[in-house]
């Protein structure tokens, strides 16, 4: 899927950013090491206040690290002011000039750089085409929709041909349907231009849909970096598993480890296979995660992995969540796709079995 190369576009080496002193001290970033590849759609994902925007601001040059360095294609960019960095930013607020035309907004940065008129016109035409806005070129920005403004902001940021584009929650002001449409658009534009995109969001679904790789952040540090599949199906720790979607946690005991697979013993004594994070050797009591859609409700026979009683059934449109109180006491959610008949076939209070698919349980790091 990804056409990202292995060369680092951006390398973050031991970067920290501390604001204030004494009781007001805030460590916004705490010793970050990260390589973002050329031509990659890379997402910084995490809850509000985890340091995503701070990291973007350091790359853009609007702020400076307290310690550490940032390399762009191998060169330390610390001495470069923002306007000399081959980096541009798309802000959440778009920051467009409302009374200027679409075309003048897109060409504004190039004009400031003193580019010749003919070159600006050609580049603006190219950008209008890239974001499918050619027909709107003479409209005032105040007369176009939010989604169209987003396209103009993107075109304006790409016009000076940056090597890296920073996008700080650019879709958060759009409604759900438009956001979905723009996610596809952004992905297309990134693939067509081959520019490295560093995208900030706190929306896990958005991150999973768009990214080649995701860095999950919490309180100034990176918790896990990997492909959407790694992050969703092989979370290394509880924070990542929890943040990235609904999941079930079960306390189990490691029965054996062979190569990169373990066998874990459930409370019932039954053993199931499980994977575990790189550079760990699981032993003793551990927690495993199983996503709700990786299990199904079955008859409560010995073939079932787990057994319990249905506590609630929650209709979600395309799916239904069946919450089962396990015999061991904890709650386990199974997500089942709805059929046309609309009924998921189980009712509250019913005794059921749960069949966990092979190879879906993941052991968390301590
Ligand atoms: P959000 O999603 O809400 O934008 P974020 O993940 O982008 O959050 P940052 O804006 O990077 O988070 O902030 C990280 C931490 O640093 C927060 O605790 C914030 O309050 C603090 N912080 C950011 N800028 C400053 C500043 N100029 N002075 C003091 N503290 C700051």
Which atom in ligand 1 lies closest to the alpha carbon of residue 54?
A: 11
CA of residue 30 to ligand 1 center, whole Å: 13
Identify whether residues 136 and 283 lie together within a single domain: no
Q: Is there a single domain that holds both residue 250 and residue 221?
A: no
Residue 241 lies in a domain: no
pLDDT band at 1 (very low <50, low <70, confident <90, very high): very low
Segment 257-284 shows an average pLDDT of 93
Ligand 1 mutation target, pool 30, 54, 199, most atoms within 8 A of CB = 54
pTM of the full predicted structure?
A: 0.90
Do 205 and 252 belong to one domain? no
Residue 239 placed within a domain: no
Q: Work out the pLDDT band at 5, boundaries 50, 70, 90.
A: low
Distance 53 CA to ligand 1 centre (A): 7
Percent of the chain with pLDDT over 90: 75
Residue 169 falls inside a structural domain: yes
Final residue in a domain of this structure, among 173, 199, 233: 233
Check if 53 has its Cβ closer than 6 Å to any atom of ligand 1.
Answer: yes
pLDDT tops 70 at residue 298: yes
User: In the predicted model, what is the mean pLDDT of residues 321-344?
Assistant: 86
Weakest-pLDDT range from 56-65, 124-133, 167-176, 296-305: 167-176
Instruction: Provide mean pLDDT across the span 203-226.
Output: 96
Q: Is the pLDDT of residue 2 over 50?
A: no
Q: Please indicate whether residue 263 or residue 80 has the higher confidence score (pLDDT).
A: 263
Could you tell me which residue, 147 or 312, shows the higher pLDDT? 312
Per the domain annotation, does 304 fall within a domain?
Answer: yes
Same-domain status, 280 and 202: no
Domain boundary among the residues 233, 262, 289 is at 233
Same domain, 176 and 86: yes
pLDDT value for 60: 94
> What was the ipTM of the complex prediction?
0.95
Q: Do both 229 and 145 map to the same domain?
A: yes
Q: How far is CA 62 from the centre of its chain?
A: 23
In a shared domain, residues 220 and 263: no
Average confidence score pLDDT of the chain: 92
Any ligand 1 atom below 6 A from CB of 26 = yes
Q: Rounded CA gap, 109 and 16, in Å?
A: 31
Indicate if ligand 1 lies below 6 Å from the C-beta of 286. no
Q: Is residue 66 part of a domain?
A: yes
Q: Is the pLDDT assigned to residue 261 strictly greater than 80?
A: yes
3-state secondary structure the chain: CCCCCCCEEEEEEEEEEEECCHHHCEEEEEEEEEEEECCCEEEEECCCCCCHHHHHHHHHCCCCCCEEEEEECCEECCCCCHHHCCEEEECCCCCCCCCCEHHHHHHHHHHHCCCCHHHHHHHHHHHHHHCCCHHHCCCEHHHCCHHHHHHHHHHHHHCCCCCEEEEECCCCCCCHHHHHHHHHHHHHHHHHHCCEEEEEECCHHHHHHHCCEEEEEECCEEEEEECHHHHHHCCCCHHHHHHCCCCEEEEEEEEEEECCEEEEECCCCCEEEEECCCCCCCCCEEEEEECHHHEEEECCCCCCCEEEEEEEEEECCCEEEEEEEECCCCEEEEEEECCCCCCCCCCCCCEEEEEECCCCCEECCC
The CATH number that applies at residue 15 is 3.40.50.300
Please report whether residue 260 resides in a domain: yes
Give pLDDT tens digits for 12-41.
999 999 999 989 899 999 999 999 999 999
Nearest residue (CA) to ligand 1, atom 26: 19
Give the span between the Cα atoms of 12 and 265, in whole angstroms.
Answer: 41
**Average pLDDT of the segment spanning 142-161:** 91
Residue 51 beta carbon below 6 angstroms from any ligand 1 atom: yes
Taking residues 327-331, what's their average pLDDT? 86
Q: Within this chain, do residues 19 and 138 fall inside the same structural domain, yes or no?
A: yes
Whether residue 2 lies inside any domain: the answer is no
User: How big is the chain, counted in residues?
Assistant: 366
Q: Which atom in ligand 1 lies closest to the alpha carbon of residue 29?
A: 14
Q: Measured in angstroms, how far is the CA atom of residue 65 from the centroid of ligand 1? A: 14
Is 355 part of any domain?
A: yes
Same structural domain, 25 and 73: yes
Cβ of 54 below 6 Å from ligand 1? yes
Tell me the best of 29, 43, 52, 93 to mutate to test the pocket of ligand 1, counting ligand atoms within 8 Å of each CB and taking the most.
52
Does the CB atom of residue 48 touch ligand 1 within 6 A?
A: yes
CATH number of the domain encompassing residue 256: 2.40.50.140
Residue-level pLDDT at 309:
96
For residues 168 and 64, membership in a common domain is answered with yes
Dig out the tokens for 91 from the structure: 């802000």
* Tokens 């290394």 -> residue: 236
Number of structural domains, the chain?
Answer: 2
Please tell me whether residues 257 and 186 are part of one structural domain.
Answer: no
Residue at which a domain ends, from 203, 233, 263:
233
Q: Residue 52 Cα, ligand 1 centroid: separation in angstroms?
A: 8
- Residues whose CB falls within 8 Å of the CB of residue 340, separated by 6 or more in sequence, listed in order: none
**In this structure, which residue's CA is closest to atom 30 in ligand 1?**
19
Domain that includes residue 119, residue range: 8-233
Segment 335-359 mean pLDDT: 86
Is any atom of ligand 1 closer than 6 Å to the C-beta of 28? yes
Give the pLDDT mean for 335-360: 86
Residue 57 CA: nearest ligand 1 atom is 11
202 and 266 in a single domain? The answer is no
Q: What is the mean pLDDT of residues 64-73?
A: 95
């Amino acid at each position: 899927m990804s056409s990202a190369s292995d060369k680092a576009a951006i390398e973050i080496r031991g970067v920290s950013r501390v604001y204030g002193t004494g009781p007001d001290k805030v460590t916004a970033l705490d010793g970050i090491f990260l390589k973002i590849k050329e031509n990659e759609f890379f997402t910084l994902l995490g809850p509000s206040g985890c340091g995503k925007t701070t990291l973007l601001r350091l790359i853009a040059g609007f702020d400076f690290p307290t310690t550490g360095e940032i390399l762009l294609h191998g060169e330390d960019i610390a001495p470069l002011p923002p306007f000399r960095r081959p980096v541009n930013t798309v802000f959440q607020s778009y920051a467009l000039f409302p009374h200027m035309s679409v075309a003048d907004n897109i060409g504004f940065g190039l004009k400031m750089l003193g580019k010749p008129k003919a070159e600006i016109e050609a580049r603006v035409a190219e950008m209008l085409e890239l974001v499918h806005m050619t027909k709107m070129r003479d409209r005032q920005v105040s007369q176009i929709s939010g989604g169209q403004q987003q396209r103009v902001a993107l075109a304006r940021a790409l016009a000076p041909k940056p090597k890296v584009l920073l996008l700080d929650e650019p879709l958060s002001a759009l409604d759900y349907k438009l956001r979905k449409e723009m996610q596809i658009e952004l992905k297309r534009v990134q693939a067509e231009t081959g520019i490295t995109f560093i995208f900030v969001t706190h929306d896990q679904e958005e991150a999973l849909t768009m990214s080649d790789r995701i860095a999950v952040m919490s309180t100034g540090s990176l918790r896990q970096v990997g492909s959407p599949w790694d992050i969703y199906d092989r979370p290394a720790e509880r924070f990542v598993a929890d943040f990235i979607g609904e999941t079930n946690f079960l306390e189990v005991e490691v029965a054996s480890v062979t190569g990169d697979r373990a066998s874990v013993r459930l409370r019932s004594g039954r053993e199931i296979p499980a994977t575990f994070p790189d550079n760990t050797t699981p032993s003793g009591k551990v927690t495993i995660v199983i996503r709700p859609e990786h299990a199904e409700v079955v008859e409560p026979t010995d073939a079932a992995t787990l057994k319990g009683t249905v506590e609630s059934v929650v209709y979600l449109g395309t799916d239904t969540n069946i919450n089962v109180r396990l015999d061991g006491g904890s709650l386990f959610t199974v997500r089942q796709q709805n059929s046309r008949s609309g009924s998921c076939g189980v009712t509250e209070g019913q005794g059921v079995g749960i069949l966990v698919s092979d190879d879906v349980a993941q052991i968390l790091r301590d």
